[in-house]
Structure 1
Amino acid sequence: MVDPRVMQQLAPEGVLRAAINFGNPVLAQRGAGGEPQGVSVELAKALAEVLGVELQLITFEAAGKVFAALAEDAWRVAFLAIEPVREQQIAFSAPYVEIKGTCLVAMDSSLTHVAQLDAPGRRIAVGQSAAYDLYLSRTLKHAELVRAPTSAAAVDWFVEQELDAAAGVRDFLRTQVSAQRRLLEDDFMTIRQAMAVPVAHAAAAAFVKSFVERQIANGSVKRGLLASGQSAELQAT
């Protein structure tokens, strides 16, 4: 039987409200009919089943919008990258997926490695408030970040505004490679994706932490990745 405190914090009306972020296509995608699918959706379904409650998926186009909706109590569990800026308001589980962050550049760009990005005059497109935006905001000293509303839009802005690079998830940026565009050879960060609950919900946080550990151990995360066309190697260990 689930602790009543957990039930109150995760599904107070008998419904688990889970935020699904389409901004990271590794974790969530739209199905043929537009319905959410992907590993984060499968984890949300499994958690609702364990709790014995209904599941309501609340979709967002970017991680920053998921985080902003926390103040409105729009969701009780979400799927976000672990970031120090967010930890003041969010309690994270251990990561269930680890994703590399890198940059897309023009084929004729002089850039080959991420260490070359931080130079005066460089302009890099990012999805606003995405994990890599937060990371690059802390670490870049000279380059300018140009913030697009979503990660996909960042690639469009990079092309349209002839910026130096577009930062993002390597797996997604790989789909944007063409005769005119290529990826840098290395990564600037490892993005650790986790389940998240409001920091005040301590009982729920402990429950979700244990739940994620079980989902990794029993192979559910790996199956969710494979079913949505992702690499099983992305699963955290």
Structure 2
Amino acid sequence: MNTNALLICGAAMLAGCASTAPSPEVKSQLAPTGELRVAVLTSNPIIHRTTPALGRELAAHAGVPAKLIDYGAVNKLMEDATKGAWDVAVVAIDPERRALVDFAPAHLVADGFLTVLVPPGSSARRMADIDQPGMRVAAVRGAATQMVLSRTLKNATVLAAENEDAAFASMKEGKAQGYAQNRFILRARAATLPGARLLEDSFAGLHLAFALPRNRPAAARAVAQFVEKAKADGTVQRVIQDAGLRGEVNVARPEQESPYKGM
């Protein structure tokens, strides 16, 4: 049985297991150091505002203390998935990441949330205007925006940058004709550059989920069960509201939990 099937089975067993204390096997896989090390991507406001609360809830559910570990760049966070540096993280689901991590069902979703910021004076209005030969769009190396854009663009190319500041600078300096990220981040960046604006359409939605290092099947099942319970009992919705993100993201519905089925 593959990991996705295990996650689905684990979620289906929720009603009979929600009040059961985690087994020693689950604890040893989920928190091998005795505490749940939660990687928090601080460069993404949505992840930064919601992961600490959900990570602490997951730790309490498992009966272990939580330890938050901040990461300023997603590429470093993903690299550390193979080094035993953290136990769970929240990142955007992408098939390219499945070589490094297993995903629980998505708990947060934002339809049409990934788009492009263009500089002052740009005539581009829609993605089709930016996807032209010779055009370049800056995105952070290893970020979901970079991976999705690389699969989406037909004519333009992706200019990979090391972090969000570098990607934004590439656009401002004319090295790229656009900067790709989620609308939340891009609106904040646009406010610092008069005349910059977001394209009218988008190139993808955003599906955020807990990720775990590969080969921890008992932990993966436990996290899937926790996510389903947290969505059903209002925990995820409360975290969204407490983070001031109501209207930006929503609780993922069952049909939105795995956007890349079969990939």
Q: TM-score by structure 2 length?
A: 0.82
**Structure 2: how far apart are the matches of 1:108 and 1:4?**
60
Determine the structure 2 residue equivalent to 1:12.
32
The residue that corresponds to 2:200 in the other structure is 185
Instruction: Provide the secondary structure at the position in 1 that maps to 2:139.
Output: strand
Q: Structure 1's 224 and 152: CA in aligned 2 closer, same or farther, altered over 3 A? A: farther
The one of 134, 143, 149 equivalent to 1:130 is 143
SS at the partner of 1:119?
Answer: coil
CA drift of 1:163 comes to: 2.3
Aligned residue for 1:185, secondary structure, equals coil
1:92 aligns with 2:112: no
The match for 1:34 is none
* Counterpart-to-counterpart distance in 1, 2:240 and 2:167: 24
2: CA distance between counterparts of 1:219 and 1:58? 26
Percent identity reads 36
Pairs aligned (count):
228
Q: 1:17-166 residue pairs with structure 2 within 5 A?
A: 17-28=37-48, 38-99=49-110, 100-161=113-174, 163-166=176-179
Deviations 1:98-149 (A, max 9, x none): 2310000124212111122221110111111100101112232321222222
Structure 1 residues 198 and 166: alpha-carbon distance in aligned structure 2, compared to 1, 3 A threshold? same
Residue 249 of structure 2 is matched in structure 1 by 234
Structure 2, unmatched stretches of 5+, are 1-20, 254-263
**TM-score where L is the length of structure 1:** 0.90
1:153-204 CA-to-partner distances (Å, cap 9, x unmatched) read 3223211335210000111111222431011011100121100112201111
Whichever residue aligns with residue 81 of structure 1, its letter is A
Contact 1:222 1:232 in 2 (8 A): no
Structure 1 residues without counterparts, runs of 5 or longer: 29-37
Match of 1:20, SS state, is strand
Alignment of 1:225 onto 2:240: yes
Matching residue of 2:6: none
1:39-87 Cα distance to aligned partner (Å, 9 max, x none): 1111100011111111111111122111100121101111111111111
Tell me the SS of whatever aligns to 1:193: strand
Alpha-carbon shift at residue 231 of structure 1 (Å): 2.2
In 2: Cα distance, 1:41 partner to 1:168 partner: 22
C-alpha distance in 2 between matches for 1:13 and 1:22: 23
Q: Secondary structure at the match of 1:6?
A: helix
Amino acid at match of 1:91: D
Q: Distance in 1 between matches of 2:240 and 2:175?
A: 34
Shift of 1:210: 1.3
Aligned residues of 1:93 and 1:208 also touching (Cα < 8 A): yes
CA contact (8 A) 1:225 1:232 kept: no
Distance 2:39 2:132 in 1: 37
